[in-house]
Amino acid sequence: MDEIPPSKGRLLLYVLCSYTVASLTAVLGITGQIFYWLIFDVCGFGKKQSNRKLNVTKSSNPNEYYTLIIGSGFSGLGAAIKLRELGTDNFVIIERHARVGGTWYANTYPGCACDVPSNLYSFSFEPNPNWSHFFGRQPEIGQYLEHCTDKYDIRRHIKFNTIVTEMKWLDDKQLWEVTTQSNGEENHIYAKFVMAGYGPLSNASFPKDIPGVDKFEGRMCHTAEWDKTLEFENKRVAVIGTGASAIQTVPELQKTGVKQLLVFQRTPPWVIPRADRKVTNFEKQLFAKFPAIQKLIRALVYWIRESTVLSFVYRLPTRYVNAELVKYNLRMHVKDEELRKKLTPTWELGCKRVLITNDWYPAIQKPNVKLVTNRIKEIKSNSIVTYDGDEYPVDIIIWSTGFLVQNFQLPIYGVNGKPLAEQWSETMQARVTVPNFPNFFFLLGPNTGLGHNSIIVMIEAQLQYITEALLYMQENNIQTLDVKPDVHDKFNHNLQAKLKKTVWQSGGCHSWYQDAKGNNTTIWPDFTWTYILLMKTFDFKNFIFQR
């Protein structure tokens, strides 16, 4: 911490080095992409998918579908769009919310935005020339998903305000029996396939080690369950947590005229600047007229992002360069040495999610904001007490404490009534499919999360795989597929072995990427293009089929 900061010349060298690595990756990546496209798509070494359709016959039971989709976020909507493209209407989407959007419907806290540029954080097949900023804000991402829903005529397939409460595989019928609840009424829906796009970040998490929450007499809410009726003016507000949502909302709350904003931090995040700006009308028109330009920007952003894998996963020396640059960013914005100490993480850049913002450091230094680093001991009727005995009076508490990533609660029963909870009691593992759970596809299941790039890339890769699987089954008259257990185990074993060496497991932190046993169940530890290639074709040899 008392290290001597590098000289100006050295810093300049670091910046140059960092830019060079990013540019080289981009050039190599885009060149590779063009060659791949020429060889496989233009010259037709890959199978043309556009004219391959599913031939699905409607069941006589009105409650039986070819596919049931859980969720209408990017995953669920993407799956529905693919099914329509494959020529079938025989599916239903179950959504517990009143509208589509998932993450982008639920998270309405002030400041909510994506942290991957919108040109990349959107479907590749549905570019949007209208993004107001480089990093789209929550309302417009929500609108974008509404737009996709209507454009691809998905809305009529969605049952809103309905929650999936249980799923059972019926061995004799080769069908999933899905129990749903809506308005207190229980229903059963049957489907040959289930595509589960329930969203790994859709169940809000609250700390379990803080007593007295129920005694609090003020108002409170979680960032993912935002209470629009909250008034902040002249109030004493506590934000608990300093993760991705907190760093977006604290700068906005600070501006609402709060009397005092207390930010309770357990561990500080590494922060890098957000290269954001408004998109001009000229650019929007350009994008609308020449979609190729937007495609190129998308590719550039994608490959520059991919270059971080070199330091996070492959541990190239660029990681030291990047570490110096984030430290410089902190030194430049926070002059007060004591505060800076509190804001300096003890782990390596990347181990916990790197946060992208320009407003966090300035906001935390405003006169009406106070960073509290002592652990919270308890909550009283009108205050928060820390372990060092300080008591902070508060009127409103904002929980910015993340999501239940590791507690999978959906009851699912596979072959012979085997519960998934039992199979996952040690650790959650999947590879789009899970052994003993035939015809069940996870969208963004275990180990498909990213610390560096747009998750939509992963969703689209999985949808490609599922499409290939469905077509293969139809072409070969197959009714059910179940992944071979040894293939599944080997895949996950290799994955965990690879993870061990990455920044997420060896970077000196404990994060929400890991489960209680220390297994890393969230991150895909590689380039996303290796995942895309892995998902490109259906590896039928790895499955057990029933006709």
Ligand X SMILES: *[C@@H]1O[C@H](CO)[C@@H](O)[C@H](O)[C@H]1NC(C)=O
Ligand Y SMILES: Cc1cc2nc3c(=O)[nH]c(=O)nc-3n(C[C@H](O)[C@H](O)[C@H](O)COP(=O)(O)OP(=O)(O)OC[C@H]3O[C@@H](n4cnc5c(N)ncnc54)[C@H](O)[C@@H]3O)c2cc1C
**Helix (H, G, I), strand (E, B), or coil: what is residue 301?**
helix
Is residue 197 at the binding interface for ligand Y, with CB under 6 A as the rule?
yes
Binding mask 121-160 for ligand Y (x = CB under 6 A): x---------------------------------------
164 binds ligand Y (CB under 6 A): yes
Between 357 and 447, name the residue whose CB sits nearer to ligand X: 447
What residues does 240 pair with on adjacent strands?
264, 399
23 contacts which partner out of ligand Y, ligand X, none, CB within 5 to 8 A by kind? none
Site for ligand X in 197-216 (CB under 6 A): 198, 203
| Alpha-carbon span 111 to 89, nearest angstrom | 38
CA distance 407 to 381: 30
Contact between 198 and ligand Y by CB under 6 A: the answer reads yes
Q: How many residues bind ligand X (CB under 6 A)?
A: 23
The strand pairing partners of 190, in sequence order, are 64, 177
- Residue 254 interaction partner, one of ligand Y, ligand X, none, beta carbon < 5-8 Å per kind: none
Render the burial of 371-409: b for 16+ CB within 10 Å, e for the rest. Answer: bbbeebbebeeebbbbeeeeebebbbbbbbbbbebbebe
Query: Segment contacting ligand X (CB under 6 A): 29-37, 303-311, 382-390, 406-414?
Result: 406-414
Site track 384-423 with ligand Y (rule: CB under 6 A), x = hit: --------------------------x-------------
- Identify which of residues 182 and 344 has a Cβ nearer to ligand Y in the complex: 182
Pick 384 or 499: Cβ nearer ligand X: 499
Pick one of 79, 86, 112, 481: the residue that binds ligand Y (CB under 6 A): 112
Proportion of the chain in helix, strand, coil states, percent, rounded to 5: 35, 20, 45
Of 115-123, 328-336, 413-421, 514-522, the segment contacting ligand Y by CB under 6 A is: 115-123
Q: Is 184 strand, coil or helix?
A: coil
Q: With beta carbons less than 8 A apart as the criterion, state whether 26 and 18 touch.
A: no
> What's the min distance (Å) between Cβ of 98 and ligand Y?
10
Residues 235, 345 contacting (CB under 8 angstroms): no
Q: Does 440 bind ligand Y (CB under 6 A)?
A: no
What are the backbone dihedrals phi and psi of residue 61, each rounded to the nearest 5 degrees, phi first? Answer: -85, 120
Q: Is 427 in the site for ligand X (CB under 6 A)?
A: yes
Q: Distance between CA atoms of 439 and 433, rounded to whole angstroms?
A: 8
Partner interacting with residue 114 (select from ligand Y, ligand X, none; CB below 5-8 Å by kind): ligand Y
Instruction: Say whether residue 72 binds ligand Y (CB under 6 A).
Output: yes
Please choose, out of 8-16, 125-133, 178-186, 340-348, the segment that lies near ligand X by the rule CB under 6 A.
125-133
Q: 188, 163, 187, 162: which is closest to 175 by C-alpha?
A: 188
Please identify, among the stretches 7-15, 50-58, 100-108, 526-534, the one whose residues bind ligand Y according to the rule CB under 6 A.
100-108
The option from ligand Y, ligand X, none interacting with 499 (CB < 5 to 8 A, set by class) reads ligand X
Q: How many CA atoms lie within 13 A of 544 on its CB side?
A: 13
Task: Identify which of residues 371 and 404 has a Cβ nearer to ligand Y in the complex.
Answer: 404
Closest CA to 404 of 222, 202, 239, 107: 202
Among 369, 420, 455, 461, binds ligand Y (CB under 6 A): 455
In three state form, how does the secondary structure of 60-124 look? Answer: CCCCEEEEEEECCCHHHHHHHHHHHHCCCCCEEEECCCCCCCCHHHHCCCCCCECCCCCCCCCCC
Among 245, 429, 448, 511, binds ligand Y (CB under 6 A): 245
DSSP single-letter state for residue 429: -
Residues 468-497, mask of contacts with ligand X (x by CB under 6 A): ----------------------------x-
Cβ 544 vs Cβ 484: under 8 Å: yes
Query: Is residue 128 close enough to count as binding ligand X by CB under 6 A?
Result: yes
Q: Does 408 bind ligand X (CB under 6 A)?
A: yes
The entry of ligand Y, ligand X, none that residue 500 binds, CB within 5 to 8 Å by partner kind: ligand X
Asked if 445 touches ligand Y (CB under 6 A), the answer is no
According to the binding rule CB under 6 A, does residue 517 interact with ligand X? yes
User: Minimum distance from CB of 31 to ligand X (Å)?
Assistant: 29
Contacts of 541 (CB under 8 A, 6+ apart): none
| From ligand X, ligand Y, none, interface partner of 522 (C-beta below 5 to 8 A by class) | none
What distance in Å separates the CA atoms of residue 197 and residue 200, rounded to the nearest whole number? Answer: 8
Q: Parallel, antiparallel, or unpaired for β 185-196 and 440-442?
A: parallel
| 25, 202, 205, 522: which one binds ligand Y (CB under 6 A) | 202
Using CB under 6 A as the binding rule, whether residue 409 contacts ligand X is answered as yes
Q: Any contact of residue 71 with ligand Y (CB under 6 A)?
A: yes
- Dihedral of the CA atoms 284, 290, 295, 301 (nearest 10)? -40
CA 213/CA 203 separation, integer angstroms? 19
Of the pair 7, 51, the CB lying nearest ligand X is at 51
Q: Which residues pair with 391 in a beta bridge?
A: 385
Indicate the helix (H) or strand (E) that contains 292: helix 291-306
Binding footprint of ligand X on the chain (CB under 6 A): 55, 57, 128-130, 144, 147, 198, 203, 408-410, 426-427, 496, 499-500, 505, 514, 517-520
Binding footprint of ligand Y on the chain (CB under 6 A): 70-76, 94-97, 102-103, 107, 112, 114-116, 121, 163-164, 197-199, 201-202, 245, 410, 443-444, 454-455
